[in-house]
Structure 1
Amino acid sequence: MKNIYMIGVGLIGGSLAIDIKKKYPEVVIHGISRKETTLDEALTLKLIDKKATLDDVVHADLVIISIPVDATVKLLPIVLDKISDNGLVVDAGSTKADICKVVENHPKRRNFLAMHPIAGTEHSGPSAAIPDLFVGKTNIICEVEKTTFKLQEKALELFKSIGMRMRYMNPEAHDKHIAYVSHLSHISAFMLGKTVIDKEKNERDIFDMAGSGFASTVRLAKSSPEMWTPIFKQNKQNVIETLEEYITNLTHFKDLMKEDDFDAIFKEMKETNYIKDILKGIN
């Protein structure tokens, strides 16, 4: 691949650009954004080599779309209209069902690969891009059988070469599972932050008492609402299901507290400690 076009050069797009360029210095990274200031910053940070427009993607070997998922749904068919028969388009969205559905009957569906690299931080924008973000991380690939083999093969080899491991599933399964392990975590962080901020209005000393435990738990509340609101909207039914289960567990914990049943509380926390074995090795 000689020409890669990044539509969106924030945390994910920018970090991909860094790692691809490090592995393949001969590749030319072209940046596309609706904001000129974003492209200027990406050039200054050397995330991209050149600015580009949507019309330029006809020259692309690979187009990587890493913008909010609602914008991806609107833009993806347009990009596929413009891509050459030898070019491939991938997206990095945190939801997959709506994105796959919007192009299911597109004449160039074979030129699209749906993926979700499970990596990130709470920061956003070009300055948030960091090297080695994807090393050891899982990249979920959906509907791989609908993508031309020779195109998917090149792309998957590229992503493996920067440290990602591939896993395959259908879009509906992806969206259901990711609601539990990602979307619920972000909602919990946002609502914990809101609870503490509301309390802080009356108790000014509360943040002086906040330690590393609070900081790590609420970290995701610093994430971009512009990115996460569309994710919650696209994955609404799965998110509601996870919230209902989460609220049930919180209510049960509160009831045990009211009943002074601290033996049961200890037992529940002890059983949940098993998660450290499940998550062993995850950064």
Structure 2
Amino acid sequence: MKNVYIVGVGLIGGSIAKDIKHLNPDITLFGIDKNEAHLNQALDLGIIDNKATLNDIVNAHIVIVSIPVDASVNVLPQILDLVSDDTLVMESGSTKLDICKAVENHPKRRNFMATHPIAGTEFSGPSAAIQGLFKGKTNIICEVEKTAFKLQEMALAIFNIMGMRIRYMNPESHDKHIAYVSHLSHISSFMLGKTVMEKEKNERDIFDMAGSGFASTVRLAKSSPDMWTPIFKQNKTNIIETLDEYINNLERFKTCLETNAFEDVYKEMNDINHIKDILNGIE
């Protein structure tokens, strides 16, 4: 592993680059990004060693793709066209079904591994990259059996030294489950922010009166629309299903308030408190 190419040098791609460089100082990291300012910033921050283009990928030992999922669908086949037979290509987006379908019949499908490291923040760009972001986090791998065994070994060795836990899923299950535990959370955050901003026209009132509960709940509303709109589009069917269930729960809670059924309100919240046991240990 000498030449590693990061396609998309933002939060996730930049954080992966930082970990790889920290753990393997002798490698050379190349950055590819359609945003020239991001490339220059990644270079200035020492996240990458050199700037590159897609055509340079012929020299890659490993390619890590961390761009919006709609772009990955188009770019991944181009990357597989260019790489050598021994090159590992990994993609780290938040949806997997459309991405796996985009490469399923490619002659170099065995070079590709579909991954989703469950980590991140609400910030974006190279300056948001964090060394150690993935330590102790789960990495979901889809269709691992379609990746060449020697490339599986290479990838798992990288994930191991990064301190990641591994789970295996098929793309359909991944997209269904992630709609509940990630995509719905982002939509809830965006819509709570919208509701408050529409009602509280005075921004100073929001700033002065917002407690830590509000701030933590709308944290995800700071996330990049460039990244999240394609995610919602690709996983639309699963997200609509989760929204229907979420809206039904909100309606039932509203009915309890309207009918003064506060014993039911208490029971609902008390039952839901079990979530703290499930999530114990997650920061």
Question: For this structure pair, what is the TM-score category when the shorter chain's length is used for normalisation?
Answer: over 0.9
- Is the Cα contact below 8 Å between 1:200 and 1:207 reproduced in 2? no
Return the offset for 1:207: 3.4
Correspondence for 1:143: 143
Partner of 2:93: 93
Q: Give the corresponding residue for 1:5.
A: 5
Deviations 1:221-277 (A, max 9, x none): 000000000000000000000000000000000000001011110000000000000
What does 1:31-180 correspond to in 2, within 5 Å? 31-180=31-180
* 1:131 positional shift: 1.1
In 1, Cα distance between equivalents of 2:205 and 2:46: 43
2:192 counterpart of 1:192: yes
Q: 1:173 to 1:53 in 2, by over 3 A?
A: same
Instruction: Check 1:39–1:206 CA distance in 2 against 1; reply closer, same or farther (3 A cut).
Output: closer
- The two structures have a TM-score, normalised by structure 2, of 0.98
CA distances 1:126-167 after superposition (whole Å, capped 9, x unpaired): 000011100000000000000000011101110111111110
Task: Give the count of matched residue pairs.
Answer: 283
Deviation, structure 1 residue 202: 6.7
Runs of 4+ in structure 1 deviating by more than 3 angstroms, as ranges, are none
**CA distance in structure 1 between the partners assigned to 2:261 and 2:202 by the alignment:** 31
CA 1:203–1:118 in 2, change beyond 3 Å: closer, same or farther?
A: closer
Aligned residue number for residue 282 of structure 1: 282
Name the CA distance, whole Å, in 1 between partners of 2:204 and 2:59.
57
CA–CA separation in structure 2 for the residues paired with 1:166 and 1:130: 20
* Structure 1 position 25 matched with structure 2 position 25: yes
Q: Distance in 2 between matches of 1:178 and 1:89?
A: 22
- Rounded to whole Å, the distance in 1 between the matches of 2:123 and 2:225 is 11
CA contact (8 A) 1:68 1:227 kept: yes
Shift of 1:206: 3.9
**Partner of residue 215, structure 2:** 215
Paired AA for residue 210 in structure 2: A
* Counterpart-to-counterpart distance in 2, 1:161 and 1:89: 18
Describe the SS at the equivalent of 1:173: helix
SS of residue in 2 equivalent to 1:141: strand
Structure 1 contact 116–139 (Cα < 8 Å) conserved: yes
2:171 is matched by which residue type in structure 1? Answer: P
SS at match of 1:67: coil
Deviation digits for residues 195-237 of structure 1 (CA, Å, limit 9, x no counterpart) = 0000012796343211111000000000000000000000000
**TM-superposed deviation, 1:72:** 0.4
Give the unaligned 5+ runs of structure 2.
none
Counterpart Cα distance in 2 of 1:104 and 1:197: 44
- Provide the alpha-carbon RMSD of the alignment: 1.0
Q: Distance in 2 between matches of 1:251 and 1:64?
A: 43
Query: 1:155 and 1:203, CA in 2 relative to 1: closer, same or farther beyond 3 A?
Result: closer
Residue 98 of structure 1, CA deviation: 0.0
Matched position secondary structure for 2:130: coil
Q: Is 1:251 matched with 2:242?
A: no
Residue identity opposite 1:57 in structure 2: I
Q: Distance in 2 between matches of 1:118 and 1:64?
A: 16
Structure 1 Cα separation of the partners of residues 256 and 210 of structure 2: 26
8 Å contact from structure 1 (residues 59, 83) kept in 2:
yes
Letter in 2 for 1:141: I
Q: Residue 218 of structure 2: SS of its match in structure 1?
A: helix
2: CA distance between counterparts of 1:31 and 1:206? 39
Q: Percent identity?
A: 70
Q: Is the Cα contact below 8 Å between 1:110 and 1:148 reproduced in 2?
A: yes
Q: Give deviations 1:60-96, integer Å, cap 9, x for gaps.
A: 1110000000000010000000010010110001000
